[in-house]
A and B are shown apart, each in its own frame.
Chain A
Amino acid sequence: MSKAAIKNSKSAKGVRGEASRQSSGRHGVRLDPVTLEVIRNALPAIANEMAADLQRTSYNMMIYEVRDFCTALVDPKGQLISQNVGGVSHFVADLGVVIIDGMKRYGENGFAPGDVIITNHQAVAGQHLNNVVIYMPYFYRGRLLMFAMVRAHWIDIGGTSTGFGAGPQVADPWLEGLQLDQLKIYRKGELDETLYRVLKDNIRFPESSLGDMKSQMAACRLAARRMDELFEKYGQDTILAAIDRIFDETERKCRNVVAQLPDGVYEASASIDDDGVRKGEPVPIHVKITIQGSSMTIDLSGCSAERKAAINSRTLAGARVAYKALTGPLEPVNEGSFRALKVIIPEGNIMMARFPAPMAGWSAIVPTVVDCIVAALAKAMPERVPAGHHGLLGGAVVFFGLHPKTGRRFVVQSLEGGGWGGRPTEDGESGTVSVCQGDVRNGSIEGIELKCPVLVESRALRQDSCGAGKYRGGLGIDMRVRNLVEGHWNFEQTRRALCPPWGLWGGMPGEPGGYLLRLPQENEFRPLGGARLPVPVGASAIVRTGGGGGWGDPWERDPALVINDVREEFVSRKAARELYGVVLSDDLTLDAAATEALRRQMRAKSVRAPPQARSSRGA
């Protein structure tokens, strides 16, 4: 600890820090509340600024629209100092393992200023290979203090990885794409030409991906400049002490929330229809949560063992996204956010798969896992838990080919949201991305058509796709696209048909999504699945997303809300009568007496009012 640093920390400029309002911290530094608050605001601001920069300079819709990236500052022990807000949520606090591994690989003295490391290896990172991490060491006065990191979904990493990533049929990582294992692409500022050539020659859109690499590096450098300013101003010891304090305080906040929940063990189950390879064999999801005092343990041992299909991962994301959503959804993330959470996932589990288990579709099951954890805690925190949502990473619209006029390759990409579950005081939202996705935006119809030879025939809410309830679920979407040139569709089936978005407290499940195709000579759409499906000019596809589950007994829904739903055509007259027991005249006025009678009669007939969702066992 240097004395100069402490002096710096007071900023000695007269305006602030005049007083002795300080409390002692670690590193032997006394932190005043103002300095602490300033640093608390500054660290996430740096990560957010990195993210904004990356997004605005990217060549890749996965970054600028899907926001499939994260930016972070991580210390040499692998502790998360700060991370951007608003991007894809399943990247929460998962870069620490990369640094722990990197430190093991290169040793404490193995990094130098100007080094740039590139890595995506699944033995450590545990995600699909498209997610390429670029990181740079940050030195202050010669001492390695942290790493600036950017993980971003490259549009291609060779093999079968084009677009959203390879499908579940990809049997191993070699088939999937290039594996990069903690390689220095720059050493002390000098480019490794050989490695660069290997990358350039083995990926399909090198101008896009290497452009993204440039943007990732620029974001890391930006972080270094901002850290310099901060360290110069407050000094190393003050900042490190503040970071420790911020971790501690964040942990305490989370503990405060958990301490209010009744102690006990909470469980829930769900399932994925199959893994995409062994058809008809469900993939079980089971979560067991133990609350004891202010500590929470999330045990995912009951989930499927690793599969020979590419839906494996090595990730704590399922547990962490749920914990974050329940303990402090609007607070910035740091290492302290998860200190009071213990996650149990045994080696060989589908979410702790061992290399070289295939991981191309690594995140497909995560939203279901998150939702399952949330559902399990419905009894513990009823006022904060909605019914099940569509549980998928969106309805992926992927159509690609070669434009006959321009001779250029094109890819249509959009992610369509689905319905969210009804919640304690209101209906679920319609057409919105999953719990693992934050500020992920669909492609605008006009933007898609400007760039690609397709015609979007409709983007529409699906009447009655919502689960009925006192507060109903949100609606799913049908996105209908006609291709104006021949090309290929990717129909990655959603595999939640057997376990649709569940209801809660007597609410009914939402309708699952799927894919449908109609060839030019056909009259009807038919459901279909598979990757790279070739279609002729003039075919139409429907990308369908699921609706959300209902919350509470539909017979308790205020008839006025049902009338409004019918007027708005969210719910059909038939459903109003059959699911809600609401009788309406032709001009949508309520027949109150008939409604009451019908509801009474329906209640009498069913032993337990209305049928429970199959997978809401946790509730």
Chain B
Amino acid sequence: MIAVAIDIGGTFTDLVGFDDKAGRFVDAKSLTTPHNLVQGIIDCLRQSGIEASTVDELIHGSTIAINTLIERTGAKTALVVTAGTRDVYIIGRGNRPEAYNLLFHRHRPLVPRHLTREVAERVLASGEIEAPLDRAGVEQVARALAEEGVEAVAICFLHSYVNPTHERAAGDIIRAALPNAYLSLSHEILREYREFERTSTTVVNAYIGRKVGGYVRVLKSELAGIGFAGDLSIMRSNGGVMTPEVAQERPVAMMESGPVGGIIASAKVGEKLGYRNVISFDMGGTTAKASLIRDAEPTMAPGYHVGGYASGHPVMVPMIDVVEIGAGGGSIAWRDDIGALKVGPQSAGADPGPICYRGGGTEPTITDANVVLGRLDPNNFLGGTMQLDADGARRGIEEAIAKPLKMTATQAAQAIIDIAVNKMSLCVREVSVEKGYDPRDFVIFASGGAGPLHVLAIARELHIPTVVVPLFPSHFSALGMLLADERHDFIRTFYSDLASADFGKLIEVHEEMVARAQAGLRHSKDAIQQVHLDLRYTGQEFTLAVPVTMAQLKNGDHRAIRTAFDRLYEQRYAHHSPDEPVEMLNIRLAVIGKRPKLTFPKKRSYRHPSAHSRPVYLGNADKPLSCPIYAREALAAGRRIAGPALIVEHGTTTVLYAGDRCRVAPSGELIIAVGESR
């Protein structure tokens, strides 16, 4: 079969296609066309030379959802809430994470207050109905909203996560009155307590729904127009894919659909190579991202704040846990008001870009530092398609950094790299050490244009013994989409003492979730279910998600579940309290539909000439060494290379230091034993 993945990023649209009969990969890159994303996809497909009618499956990740929110170009949205809670969405949690900032900003609501309407109804925490739904009131609100010309409506009633009847009934009335509006009911988006976070998530879904829905529809029809008749799947933030129909219903689930591809790829390729514990590290033009994969499973987070914790929008939809920092190839090196050297988070981006790109950039960047140190070849960048200005990069670093700090240009360039490496190490640390995992037990996968350039320095810093540079490191996200399974996540609040929990009822809830999952599932054969309970010691607020088996649920084996919780707690926080009572907050279900596995070809062996050399500063900023340079495509399986060396390919360069030992895996990945790490 032929599968194609297309990943739209900020700058480029990447395509990776794979024909498993021919055992052949195809890749393509085209500039992202922000005003007509679908056109960019069609262009990229054309450029790849793949005939659309031969494609069996097309997987797509896109920035459309997050951009609609960040650029605030979504629908005119209304919000309908329980009487007394009109301002919950504005007030939020009332917090100021920037504690000393007098000029702080809270989140900026996507729905104005005059389009937030209250209706009389009340459900209690137990699910009992305290006051019936005022249906006439809802009808009145619906008429008013129709008059206002709203395009989308979110409904969020208190405690609808336990009893959604009022929300459903109000939804029916609104749908009847505004048949063309996009409607989101909070219990269908997030069935978890905490009204502000649920409201925010539901509002975001409604706000972006029309636009994303329209995009998916156009994509489908344009693809059909060029003869595509296979299955279209959309990448979602939880690392799985979904059908276009589910994406239209829950666009909020595709918010982070781009970056997760690389993490899935790290997990899958890692598993294939026999590495089940992997840190995925992706460094592009503006940011670096790290994520932890344990036992071949990416770590999940219950949600995040789009736009940052201090003033962003909470979106509580399960997603792969990623830590991101402002350090990419384009990150600017600068001196603060007391002269300390800093790198990022400001980025020269693609425009004007680093000085060496000749796009008018004047501030030195990490990429410029790599050019000055000889690690990037000005004559062989992006396969020689772009001639870099090495003198300009050197002058820029001299003026801005080296002279004021009384260093040479190469010393300054090395200092820039060192600081960036330290920042990225802290980022990798955040996903590992700070969560109780020892990075020495992990293998680090490097992707993105700048990842392989810096990964060995980071691995040293954190004593990570093994580095893998996979195939297609600069198309890695798209590759991951080819490998992703179908995945649907559900959560239900089920508040109870663990020891006295009604497991019969819990199983009923579980079955309801399974039924919902099945409705949207395409690959239902051999689908896997994962169940977690969110548990905590009674009196605590934060929970740990503890994996449980169906047998444990069916037998009501609260003791075994409790032991698992204690053990997880001990691992995470280095202490636990076996005598304290434990309570349950939520039950989580993930249903994973297995997509057909792709079998990658074995690496063909080439017979190629040995490397040439050029001077590169590696390890000593005062004296370059004559460094062997290898072309990656020329490296046969089983080939061994000892550092110092550079391995150059289209889109990136792997930097090996003295002591590093690299071998080429049968399937083509570079597997590097990090030198001198303790």
Are A and B subunits of one complex? Answer: yes
- Partner-B contacts on A (CB < 8 A): 13-21, 32-34, 36-38, 40-42, 45, 49, 52-53, 55-61, 64-65, 85-89, 207-208, 211, 214, 218, 221-222, 249, 252-253, 256, 321, 324-326, 328-330, 374, 384-386, 394, 415-417, 423, 429-433, 435, 437-442, 444-447, 449-450, 455-461, 477, 480, 567-570
B317-343 near A? 1/0 per residue, CB < 8 Å: 000000000000000000011101110
Find the B residue at minimum CB distance from A87.
B99
Looking at chain B's contact residues, the main secondary structure is loop
Bound form: Cα–Cα A214–B578 in Å = 14
Chain A residues near B197 (CB, 8 Å)?
Answer: 444
* Residue B129 at the chain A interface, CB threshold 8 Å: no
Find the B residue at minimum CB distance from A205.
B539
Contact between B338 and A253, CB atoms less than 8 A apart: yes
Given A17, A85, A208, A459, which contacts B85 in the complex, CB threshold below 8 Å?
Answer: A459
B397-419 near A? 1/0 per residue, CB < 8 Å: 00000000111100110110011
Bound form: Cα–Cα A64–B95 in Å = 13
Bound form: Cα–Cα A333–B103 in Å = 19
Contact between A455 and B124, CB atoms less than 8 A apart: yes
Contact between B84 and A21, CB atoms less than 8 A apart: no
Known: A441-B94, A460-B86. A330 touches B415 (CB 8 A): no
Find the B residue at minimum CB distance from A66.
B95
Contact between B101 and A19, CB atoms less than 8 A apart: no
- Partner-A contacts on B (CB < 8 A): 83-88, 90-106, 112-114, 122, 124-125, 130, 158-159, 161, 193-197, 336-338, 340-342, 405-408, 411-412, 414-415, 418-419, 421-423, 426, 434, 456-457, 460-461, 495, 537, 539-542, 573-575, 577, 580, 619-622, 657-659, 676
Q: How far is the CB of A540 from chain B (nearest CB, A)?
A: 11
Known: A52-B434, A441-B94. A19 touches B407 (CB 8 A): yes
Bound form: Cα–Cα A207–B579 in Å = 10
Bound form: Cα–Cα A329–B101 in Å = 5
Chain A residues near B113 (CB, 8 Å)?
Answer: 568-570
Bound form: Cα–Cα A42–B422 in Å = 10
Chain B residues near A53 (CB, 8 Å)?
Answer: 573
Contact between A58 and B411, CB atoms less than 8 A apart: no
Given B99, B161, B418, which contacts A86 in the complex, CB threshold below 8 Å?
Answer: B99
Chain B residues near A374 (CB, 8 Å)?
Answer: 102
Bound form: Cα–Cα A568–B100 in Å = 29
Chain A residues near B574 (CB, 8 Å)?
Answer: 218, 221-222
Chain A residues near B161 (CB, 8 Å)?
Answer: 446
Given A256, A416, A439, A458, which contacts B84 in the complex, CB threshold below 8 Å?
Answer: A458
Given B85, B114, B419, which contacts A569 in the complex, CB threshold below 8 Å?
Answer: B114
Total A-B Cβ pairs within 8 A: 245
Contact between B405 and A21, CB atoms less than 8 A apart: yes
Find the A residue at minimum CB distance from B540.
A59
Closest CB pairs A-B (n = 5): A438-B99, A458-B84, A417-B94, A329-B100, A441-B93
Q: How far is the CB of A485 from chain B (nearest CB, A)?
A: 14
Q: Which of A416, A432, A433 has the most CB of B within 10 A?
A: A432
Q: Supply 12 further A-B pairs (C-beta < 8 A) apart from A19-B407, A21-B405.
A: A14-B658, A15-B461, A20-B411, A37-B342, A45-B426, A89-B100, A211-B539, A218-B575, A330-B98, A415-B94, A457-B84, A567-B114
Contact between B94 and A416, CB atoms less than 8 A apart: yes
Q: How far is the CB of B674 from chain A (nearest CB, A)?
A: 10
Known: A249-B340, A330-B100. A445 touches B158 (CB 8 A): yes
**21 residue pairs A–B, Cβ–Cβ below 8 Å:** A13-B460, A16-B418, A18-B414, A19-B407, A20-B622, A52-B434, A53-B573, A59-B537, A64-B541, A65-B541, A325-B101, A423-B103, A431-B87, A432-B104, A439-B96, A439-B99, A445-B195, A446-B158, A455-B124, A459-B91, A567-B112
Contact between B415 and A34, CB atoms less than 8 A apart: yes
Q: How far is the CB of B460 from chain A (nearest CB, A)?
A: 5
Bound form: Cα–Cα A41–B422 in Å = 9
Contact between B542 and A14, CB atoms less than 8 A apart: no
Given B86, B97, B537, which contacts A439 in the complex, CB threshold below 8 Å?
Answer: B97
Q: How far is the CB of B228 from chain A (nearest CB, A)?
A: 45
Contact between B539 and A207, CB atoms less than 8 A apart: yes
Chain A residues near B195 (CB, 8 Å)?
Answer: 444-446
Contact between B340 and A14, CB atoms less than 8 A apart: no
Given A214, A325, A432, A450, which contacts B125 in the complex, CB threshold below 8 Å?
Answer: A450
Q: How far is the CB of A260 from chain B (nearest CB, A)?
A: 11
Contact between A437 and B573, CB atoms less than 8 A apart: no
Bound form: Cα–Cα A567–B116 in Å = 12
Chain A residues near B575 (CB, 8 Å)?
Answer: 57, 214, 218
Contact between B103 and A386, CB atoms less than 8 A apart: yes
Bound form: Cα–Cα A209–B336 in Å = 43
Q: How far is the CB of B314 from chain A (nearest CB, A)?
A: 11
Known: A324-B100, A439-B97, A446-B158. A461 touches B91 (CB 8 A): yes
Known: A208-B539, A438-B96, A439-B96. A429 touches B106 (CB 8 A): yes
Given A14, A433, A456, which contacts B676 in the complex, CB threshold below 8 Å?
Answer: A14
Bound form: Cα–Cα A91–B265 in Å = 45
Contact between B100 and A33, CB atoms less than 8 A apart: no
Find the B residue at minimum CB distance from A462.
B87
Q: How far is the CB of B147 from chain A (nearest CB, A)?
A: 13
Given A56, A59, A442, which contacts B573 in the complex, CB threshold below 8 Å?
Answer: A56
Given A19, A41, A417, which contacts B423 in the complex, CB threshold below 8 Å?
Answer: A41
Given A37, A207, A329, which contacts B102 in the complex, CB threshold below 8 Å?
Answer: A329
Q: How far is the CB of B149 from chain A (nearest CB, A)?
A: 15
Chain B residues near A324 (CB, 8 Å)?
Answer: 100
Bound form: Cα–Cα A249–B340 in Å = 9
Bound form: Cα–Cα A8–B637 in Å = 39
Find the B residue at minimum CB distance from A429.
B106
Known: A34-B419, A207-B580. A58 touches B540 (CB 8 A): yes
Chain A residues near B456 (CB, 8 Å)?
Answer: 15
Chain A residues near B125 (CB, 8 Å)?
Answer: 446, 449-450
Given A64, A432, A461, A480, which contacts B96 in the complex, CB threshold below 8 Å?
Answer: A432
Known: A211-B539, A438-B96. A33 touches B90 (CB 8 A): no
Chain A residues near B412 (CB, 8 Å)?
Answer: 21
Bound form: Cα–Cα A456–B85 in Å = 9
Contact between A21 and B91, CB atoms less than 8 A apart: no
Known: A18-B414, A36-B340. A384 touches B103 (CB 8 A): yes
Known: A211-B580, A447-B193. A461 touches B87 (CB 8 A): yes
Q: Which of A60, A87, A417 has the most CB of B within 10 A?
A: A417
Given B88, B421, B580, which contacts A15 in the complex, CB threshold below 8 Å?
Answer: B421
Q: Which of B100, B193, B574 has the most CB of A within 10 A?
A: B100
Given B97, B112, B426, B659, which contacts A438 in the complex, CB threshold below 8 Å?
Answer: B97
Chain B residues near A55 (CB, 8 Å)?
Answer: 542
Find the A residue at minimum CB distance from B86.
A460
Bound form: Cα–Cα A41–B408 in Å = 25
Contact between B94 and A385, CB atoms less than 8 A apart: no
Find the B residue at minimum CB distance from A64.
B541
Chain B residues near A56 (CB, 8 Å)?
Answer: 542, 573
Contact between A19 and B621, CB atoms less than 8 A apart: yes
Q: How far is the CB of B145 from chain A (nearest CB, A)?
A: 15
Q: How far is the CB of B40 from chain A (nearest CB, A)?
A: 37
Chain B residues near A567 (CB, 8 Å)?
Answer: 112, 114
Find the A residue at minimum CB distance from B461.
A15
Bound form: Cα–Cα A253–B457 in Å = 31
Contact between A433 and B94, CB atoms less than 8 A apart: yes
Chain A residues near B658 (CB, 8 Å)?
Answer: 14
Known: A19-B414, A56-B573, A89-B99. A38 touches B422 (CB 8 A): yes
Given B122, B124, B193, B418, which contacts A444 in the complex, CB threshold below 8 Å?
Answer: B193
Chain B residues near A435 (CB, 8 Å)?
Answer: 102
Q: How far is the CB of A608 from chain B (nearest CB, A)?
A: 26
Chain B residues near A461 (CB, 8 Å)?
Answer: 87, 90-91
Find the A residue at minimum CB distance from B495.
A450
Find the A residue at minimum CB distance from B419.
A37
Chain A residues near B92 (CB, 8 Å)?
Answer: 431
Chain B residues near A326 (CB, 8 Å)?
Answer: 102
Q: How far is the CB of A609 from chain B (nearest CB, A)?
A: 25
